[in-house]
Chain A
Amino acid sequence: MFSSVVTKMIGFGLLETLYMTLVSTALAYVIGLPLGVALVVSDGSQNSFVRGINTVLGIVVNLLRSIPFLILLVTVIPVTRFIVGTSIGSTATIVPLVIASAPFVARLVESSLKEVDKGVIEAAQCMGASMTQIIYKVMLPEAKPSLIVGSAIAVTTILSYSALAGFVGGGGLGDIAVRYGYYRYQEDIMLITVALLVIIVQILQEIGMRLAKISDKRI
C-alpha cells in the first residue's frame, strides 16, 4: 500500500512518539509525585507557613494547568533551547511536555492520596509513626492501585499532548499527521497515524487497568 520509505517513516514516528511519551511521563512523575505528596501533606496544616506553601503550590499548579498546551509549547521555546540546545525534534518536545504534565500529575497524585482512609493514617499516628513513615508506609502503598490508574490517565494524556507538538516540529506521529495529512492532503497517511495513536492509547490504558487490578488487595 505504502512505499517502504513511508512505512519506515511511520515506524520511526511511532518510536519517537513512544519515546517522547514514556520519557515525559517518567519525568513528569519525578516532579509531580513529590509535588502531589506536598499538596496533600501541607493541606490543612496547623503551621501557617506550611499552609502558605500549600496555597502557593496550588496557585502554581493551577496556573500551569490553565495555559493551553499549544501556547505553552511556543512560550517555553527559550527554556527548551536552554536545556536541550534546540527547539525542534522529539527530545526538545519533552521539555514542554514535562512542564505541562507535571502539575497535572501532581493533581492526579493528590486526588489518589486523598482517597486513603483518614482512619488508617490516624492509626499510624497512634503507633507513633513519623510523617515520613506515614507517607512511605501508609499513604503511597495504600493509594497504589489508584496511583496506577492515575498514571494510565497521565500517560495517555501526555501521548495526545505529544501529537500536538507536531505543529511546531516536535517529531513523532503527530508531526507526520500534520505534515502529510494537513499540509499535503495525504489522508491515508493521516488515518494510519491516527489509528496507531488510538491503538497505543488502548494498550497503555489496558495495561494500567490490569496492573491496578492485580495490585489492589481490596478484592
Chain B
Amino acid sequence: MNQNRPIISIRGLEKIFYSKTGQVKALEDINLDIYEGEIFGIIGLSGAGKSTLVRCMNFLERPTKGTVFFDGKDLSKLSKKDLRIARQSIGMIFQHFNLLMQRNSIDNICFPLEIVGMDKNEAQKRAYELLELVGLSDKAKAYPAQLSGGQKQRVAIARALATKPKVLLCDEATSALDPATTHSILGLLKQINKEFGLTIVIITHEMSVIEEICQRIAIIDNSRIVEVGNVIDIFTNPKSEIAKSFASPGGDRPDRVIGNRCCQIIFDGNSSYEPILAKTVLECKAPVNILFADTRNIDGKAFGQMIIQLPEDENLSDRVVAYLRAQGLIVKEVESSV
C-alpha cells in the first residue's frame, strides 16, 4: 500500500452559498491531503460543512475559492467533459443510498457502466461479480424497494465500484442504518480497502464509525478543519474543544478534581486485556477510587483515559503511581482543588 502519494489534495478551498437572504460560508481555508490506500475519516457536527467538503471533492459543488487535485489533476481546470471522465474514477455512496427505484439490483450496478458505454454483456458480467463481492448474489433481480437498508447500501457500494474507481467517498453512508448493519457495512468497506487498496473517505458524525475503520481523521468545526491526524493521537490527546467532545462524548472531563491527590492515566494502546487497575490495587495493597473513566477498545487495544483518586498516604500513592508507570502507562498528576 503506497501511503506517500496524495490521491486527493485540497488547497485553500472555500465554499460560499449565495442566496437571496445573504450568504453562508460553508467551508473556509480547507487544506487537506488524503493518501492512496488509506481510510480517511471526516467528522463534525451537523452543519459543520463536512458534507459540502466531500461534495467538493468530486466537484458536485464547485468551490468558490481554492481547488481540489484528484490524482494530480486540478479539477477546477477540467472541461465539463473531462470532469465527467474524472468523476468516473471517484465512486460515491450516500446516506439514503440513491438507487434507481425502477431498476433491479443488477441493472443498478450496470448503470455507471452504461454511462461509460461498456458493452452490455460485459457490464452484466462485471455487475454479477460485484454483487457476489458484496454478498448479494441471490438478490440480482430484486428491486430496491424489496431490499433492507443494509442490502441497499451493499448494492450502492457495488454500483460505486463498478467503474473501478480510485477513491470511494462515503457521505454519511451508515447514518441511516442500525448499529449491527453499520458494523457489517464498515466491515465490507474495510475488506474492499484491503483487497483492492481502494482509498476510502468517510464522512460521519459518529465517533464509533471513525474508531472502527479509519486510520487518519480530520475534525471539522464551523467550516474549518480544526485537527488532522491519526485516530489514536487525536483520541488520546485531543487539542480542540470539539475533538475533546468527540473523544469523550459522555460529557466534559472534570478539569477540577476534588480530592487529595489525583492522577490521570492515559491508555494509548499498550495494555489491553490486562486488568491493570485491579492488579494495581492488589500489588500495592492500596485502594484507589475511579473518578472518571472513558476508555474504549480499538482493535484489541485500550484507548482513553481514567482519573483516579490516590490514597491519603504519600508512600502508598507514590507506590501506585510508580507501579502504573512500570506497566507502561502514561500517568500525570492532576491538580486537585477543593
Knowing A119-B94, A219-B146, the reply to whether A129 touches B101 (Cβ < 8 A) is no
Identify which of residues 72-104 in chain B touch chain A, using a CB-to-CB cut-off of 8 Å: 83-88, 90-92, 94, 96, 98-104
A144 touches B88 (CB 8 A): no
Whether B66 is near chain A, meaning CB under 8 Å from some CB there, is no
B98 touches A120 (CB 8 A): yes
Contact residues in B for A137 (Cβ distance below 8 Å): 111, 114-115
Knowing A127-B163, A141-B100, the reply to whether A217 touches B111 (Cβ < 8 A) is no
Closest to A123 in B: B98
Min CB gap B143→A, angstroms: 4
Knowing A119-B96, A137-B114, A218-B143, the reply to whether A129 touches B102 (Cβ < 8 A) is no
Contact residues in B for A133 (Cβ distance below 8 Å): 114-115
Knowing A126-B58, A128-B84, the reply to whether A217 touches B143 (Cβ < 8 A) is yes
Whether B276 is near chain A, meaning CB under 8 Å from some CB there, is no
Chain A residues bordering chain B, tally (CB within 8 A): 24
Whether B259 is near chain A, meaning CB under 8 Å from some CB there, is no
Whether A124 is near chain B, meaning CB under 8 Å from some CB there, is yes
Identify which of residues 118-173 in chain A touch chain B, using a CB-to-CB cut-off of 8 Å: 119-120, 122-130, 133, 137-138, 141-142, 144-145
Contact residues in A for B87 (Cβ distance below 8 Å): 125-128
A218 touches B145 (CB 8 A): yes
Could you say which of B85, B104, B111 has the most chain A C-beta atoms within 10 Å of its C-beta?
A: B111
Q: Report the Cα distance A195→B276, complex, angstroms.
A: 89
Contact residues in B for A145 (Cβ distance below 8 Å): 102
Known: A117-B101, A120-B101. 20 other contacts (CB 8 A): A119-B98, A122-B60, A122-B94, A123-B94, A123-B98, A124-B111, A126-B58, A126-B90, A127-B87, A127-B111, A129-B115, A130-B84, A133-B114, A142-B102, A216-B102, A217-B101, A217-B102, A217-B144, A218-B145, A219-B145
Where the two chains meet, the residues of A that have a C-beta atom closer than 8 Å to any C-beta of B are 117, 119-120, 122-130, 133, 137-138, 141-142, 144-145, 215-219
Q: Can you offer 7 A-B residue contacts whose CB atoms are under 8 A?
A: A122-B94, A125-B87, A141-B102, A145-B102, A217-B104, A217-B144, A218-B144
